[in-house]
């Protein structure tokens, strides 16, 4: 194609038989060209080269537009060409010279309503380049100006709302109120100032990257909100990603594999859409701000002044501070959390190497329990709320009272107190390991560290003496469990080794009553040369607390098939999992079931030498326990031999299975040492 045409030929004369031909050609040119390239044929000027690629008379060429020009269409709306493509950089034919060609348009067609419509080759070019797409968009906007305005305002408002909400996160899920969204985020003022000050191209790049970054922060904030609601703590960027797989497994067990797969796919789609939408929203807002930099600057200065004034004067709206900086606060919190996690890893490794009983000879470990069958039992989610919450407590307290009376009738006595758990709402293994290790284990890094250490666990102390056989009954374990070595268990029975053939009860693989009966049949009821130390994890009170098993005759348990009709008649997890009232009611019933199953097992199978220690691993989630619930869990020691309870008489615990409200509260990590000392162990420290 020549670089230029020296002298354009005169336009062809218009046939007298077709007086409207010139007007029609002009209409087609106007529809096909961009708003900046539109020319009137009546002015007698040569038509510029348009994106459509057709020829109007002789070919003319002009340099492509340069710089950060923003163009206005005939509908009155500005199109920021930089948001899509710089039409001055290349034409649809890929002309490396940076010029554009405009040719004569085909005659316009007429639709059935009589409206003149540009032919596809002019008003809606068939090229595949970005310029052609932009030309088609302009043609549509010129043809439907009202619809274009509606689309423009809708996308702009949605962009502002999306960014506004993202800058207000995180907010609490439990106890959320709409008035919490009536805030002025300071970050919005900063973002507006930056985007207003930048030229077009840098603004687009910064806006897109900033939007993607805000999307990433939003994902972390949403995880933070979820962890706060379920686990009572924030999301840890270093340690908690692996817990997402545990959450998926929990949903699969509770709601089914198909539902979980659909939910997982939906979440992934939403995350991708969030990143794309947030970046597009930031670019859109930047484009709007850049149209009139002077006005945007004035508005930004006013907004900044208002924010600073309201912040200094602590102005409130609907009982909430009007000004916030949540996004910056969330970013700082995550940064601090990551830094503290990395520091804690080294500090805790040193702490785990120091052990008050690390060098204690075997003969000096728990000598006052020799000859006793000791059973350590954890009841899932058995927390203070079960005993003191007005909704759940009446039923649980009746169960504790009746069980205490039944045990006393069988010759047993009990004492109870409180421990403050290292976890909340979930991650039960952190509660188990804290109780038995004597170390405060409140995250995965600490858990991995102690599991790989030689720090003496309470259960391993019994194995170390050589005076006990040690066994674990773990109906919740459905895969390899290398922790067996740390806990000093000679044998572990997992979910597949207890002979259960009945239905699962949501997450729980089998009812507690069956697990205890299997333990009796396979372990406790057998003759042996040594006494037995056992660790048993009961799972029937695990969320979502639906369906819940019911007690059946101990002689009717068989292989567990008897629970089939009970499971079918129970409530479905989907009916309870998101209903606060139903969750609280069913949670209370599940605790009653677990306590009843355990105490009836002791009544039925316990001996004069049986010592039962049972406790909760953590409180239930905040939707059940409340937003300001403590982390306390009840703990009880039950025995027939009065000497066993006499050893802990100075602990100040309450008689019976229900600890008094004012009973002593210890950190869960203090229990190991107190227990070892109470039953005659002699400290011989090791490590640092």
177 versus 43: the higher-pLDDT residue is 177
Tokens encoding 64: 């492509």
How far is 587 from 581, CA to CA, in rounded Å?
10
The tens digit of pLDDT for each residue in 293-327 reads 889 899 999 988 988 988 888 888 777 788 888 88
Q: Is 649 helix (H, G, I), strand (E, B) or coil?
A: helix
What is residue 103's predicted lDDT score, i.e. its pLDDT?
Answer: 38
State the virtual CA torsion across 12, 15, 18, 24 in degrees, nearest 10. Answer: 10
**Highest mean pLDDT: which of 82-91, 185-194, 435-444?**
435-444
How far is 641 from 610, CA to CA, in rounded Å?
8
| Mean pLDDT (whole number) for 554-578 | 90
Count of all residues that appear for the chain in the document:
688
What is residue 239's predicted lDDT score, i.e. its pLDDT?
Answer: 81
Tokens encoding 114: 């009589």
| Mean pLDDT (whole number) for 246-274 | 83
What is residue 506's predicted lDDT score, i.e. its pLDDT?
Answer: 87
Q: What is the 3-state secondary structure (H, E, C) of 549-563?
A: CCCCCHHHCCCCHHH
| Mean pLDDT (whole number) for 80-107 | 38
Q: How confident is the model at residue 673 (pLDDT cuts 50, 70, 90)?
A: very high
How far is 51 from 121, CA to CA, in rounded Å?
11
Residue among 607, 602, 634 at smallest CA distance from 618: 634
DSSP codes joined into one string, 186-219: HHHHHHHHHHHHS-HHHHHHHHHHHHHHHHHHHH
Q: List, in sequence order, the alpha helices (H) in 317-360.
A: 326-353
What is residue 141's predicted lDDT score, i.e. its pLDDT?
Answer: 82
What is residue 369's predicted lDDT score, i.e. its pLDDT?
Answer: 96
Question: DSSP character for 668?
Answer: G
How far is 233 from 442, CA to CA, in rounded Å?
10
How far is 464 from 177, CA to CA, in rounded Å?
55
* φ, ψ of residue 560 in degrees (nearest 5): 95, -5
591 versus 352: the higher-pLDDT residue is 591
Q: Is 62 helix (H, G, I), strand (E, B) or coil?
A: coil
Q: How confident is the model at residue 379 (pLDDT cuts 50, 70, 90)?
A: very high
β-strands 373-379, 532-538 pairing: parallel
With contact defined as beta carbons under 8 Å apart, do 611 and 639 qualify? yes
What percent of the chain has a predicted confidence (pLDDT) above 90? Answer: 50
Q: Is 248 helix (H, G, I), strand (E, B) or coil?
A: helix
Tokens encoding 518: 């299997």
Give how far Cα 125 sits from Cα of 31, 94, 117, 298, 372, Å: 10, 15, 13, 41, 90
What is residue 330's predicted lDDT score, i.e. its pLDDT?
Answer: 86
- The pLDDT mean for the chain works out to 81
Question: DSSP character for 505?
Answer: B
What is residue 680's predicted lDDT score, i.e. its pLDDT?
Answer: 94
Task: Give exposure, 115-151, as e/b (b: 16+ Cβ within 10 Å).
Answer: eebbbebbbbbebebbbbbbbbbbbbbbbeeeebeee
User: What is the distance in angstroms between the CA of the first residue and the CA of the last residue of the chain?
Assistant: 84
How far is 656 from 634, CA to CA, in rounded Å?
12
| Mean pLDDT (whole number) for 345-350 | 85
The tens digit of pLDDT for each residue in 385-416 reads 999 998 899 999 999 999 999 999 999 999 99
Whether the predicted pLDDT of 26 surpasses 70: no
Whether the predicted pLDDT of 618 surpasses 80: yes
Instruction: Flag the least confident range among 190-199, 240-249, 597-606, 651-660.
Output: 240-249
What is residue 128's predicted lDDT score, i.e. its pLDDT?
Answer: 64
* φ, ψ of residue 414 in degrees (nearest 5): -140, 150
What is residue 328's predicted lDDT score, i.e. its pLDDT?
Answer: 85
Whether the predicted pLDDT of 12 surpasses 70: no
What is residue 626's predicted lDDT score, i.e. its pLDDT?
Answer: 79
Instruction: For tokens 């039962």, name the residue.
Output: 612
pTM tops 0.75, yes or no: no
Give how far Cα 578 sits from Cα of 243, 249, 251, 573, 602, Å: 20, 18, 13, 9, 35
């Amino acid at each position: 194609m020549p670089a230029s045409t020296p002298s354009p030929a005169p336009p062809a004369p218009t046939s007298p038989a077709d007086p409207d031909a010139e007007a029609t050609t002009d209409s087609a040119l106007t529809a096909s060209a961009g708003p900046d390239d539109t020319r009137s044929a009546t002015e007698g000027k040569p038509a510029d080269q348009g994106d459509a690629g057709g020829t109007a008379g002789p070919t003319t060429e002009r340099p492509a537009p340069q710089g950060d020009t923003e163009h206005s269409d005939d509908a009155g709306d500005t199109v920021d060409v930089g948001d899509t493509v710089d039409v001055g950089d290349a034409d649809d034919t890929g002309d490396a010279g940076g010029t554009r060609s405009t040719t004569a348009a085909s005659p316009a067609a007429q639709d059935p309503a009589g409206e003149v419509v540009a032919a596809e080759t002019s008003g809606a070019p068939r090229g595949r380049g970005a310029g052609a797409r932009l030309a088609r968009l302009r043609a549509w906007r010129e043809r439907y100006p009202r619809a274009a305005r509606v689309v423009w305002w809708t996308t702009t408002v949605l962009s502002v709302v999306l960014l506004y909400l993202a800058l207000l996160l995180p907010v609490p899920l439990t106890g959320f109120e709409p008035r919490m969204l009536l805030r002025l985020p300071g970050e919005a003022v900063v973002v507006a100032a930056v985007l207003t000050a930048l030229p077009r191209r840098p603004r687009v790049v910064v806006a897109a990257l900033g939007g993607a970054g805000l999307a990433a922060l939003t994902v972390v904030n949403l995880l933070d909100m979820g962890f706060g609601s379920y686990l009572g703590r924030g999301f840890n960027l270093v340690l908690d990603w692996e817990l997402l797989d545990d959450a998926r497994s929990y949903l699969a067990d509770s709601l089914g594999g198909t539902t979980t797969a659909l939910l997982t796919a939906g979440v992934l789609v939403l995350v991708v859409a969030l990143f794309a939408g947030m970046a597009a929203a930031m670019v859109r807002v930047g484009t709007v701000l850049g149209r009139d930099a002077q006005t945007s600057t004035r508005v930004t200065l006013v907004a900044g002044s208002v924010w600073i004034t309201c912040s200094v004067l602590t102005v409130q709206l609907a009982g909430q501070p009007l000004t916030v900086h949540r996004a910056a606060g969330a970013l700082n919190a995550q940064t601090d959390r990551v830094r503290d996690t990395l520091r804690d890893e080294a500090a805790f490794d040193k702490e785990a190497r120091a052990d008050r009983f690390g060098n204690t000879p075997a003969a000096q470990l728990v000598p006052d329990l020799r000859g006793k069958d000791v059973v350590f039992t954890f009841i899932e989610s058995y927390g203070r709320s079960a005993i003191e919450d007005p909704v759940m407590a009446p039923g649980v307290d009746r169960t504790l009272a009746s069980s205490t009376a039944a045990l006393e009738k069988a010759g047993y006595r009990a004492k109870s107190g409180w421990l403050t758990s290292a976890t909340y709402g979930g991650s039960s293994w952190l509660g188990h390991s804290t109780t038995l290790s004597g170390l405060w284990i409140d995250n995965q890094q600490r858990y991995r560290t102690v599991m790989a250490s030689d720090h003496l666990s309470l259960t391993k102390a019994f194995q170390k003496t050589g005076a006990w056989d040690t066994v674990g009954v773990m109906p919740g374990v459905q895969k390899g469990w290398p922790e067996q070595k740390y806990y000093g268990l000679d044998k572990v029975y997992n979910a597949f080794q207890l002979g259960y053939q009945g239905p699962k009860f949501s997450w729980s693989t089998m009812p507690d009553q069956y697990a205890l009966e299997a333990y009796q049949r396979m372990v406790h009821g057998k003759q042996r040369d040594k006494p037995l130390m056992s660790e048993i994890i009961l799972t029937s009170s695990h969320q979502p607390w639906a369906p819940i098993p019911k007690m059946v005759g101990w002689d009717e348990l068989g292989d567990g098939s008897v629970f089939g009709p009970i499971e079918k008649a129970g409530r479905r997890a989907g009916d309870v999992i998101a209903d606060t009232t139903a969750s609280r009611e069913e949670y209370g019933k599940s605790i009653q079931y677990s306590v009843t199953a355990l105490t009836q097992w002791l009544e039925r199978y316990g001996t004069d030498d049986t010592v039962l220690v049972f406790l909760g691993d953590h409180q239930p989630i905040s939707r059940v326990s409340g937003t300001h619930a403590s982390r306390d869990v009840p703990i009880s020691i039950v025995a027939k031999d009065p000497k066993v309870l006499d050893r802990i008489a100075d602990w100040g615990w309450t008689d019976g299975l229900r600890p008094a409200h004012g009973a002593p509260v210890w950190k869960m990590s203090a229990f190991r040492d107190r227990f070892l000392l109470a039953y005659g162990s002699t400290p011989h420290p090791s490590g640092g």
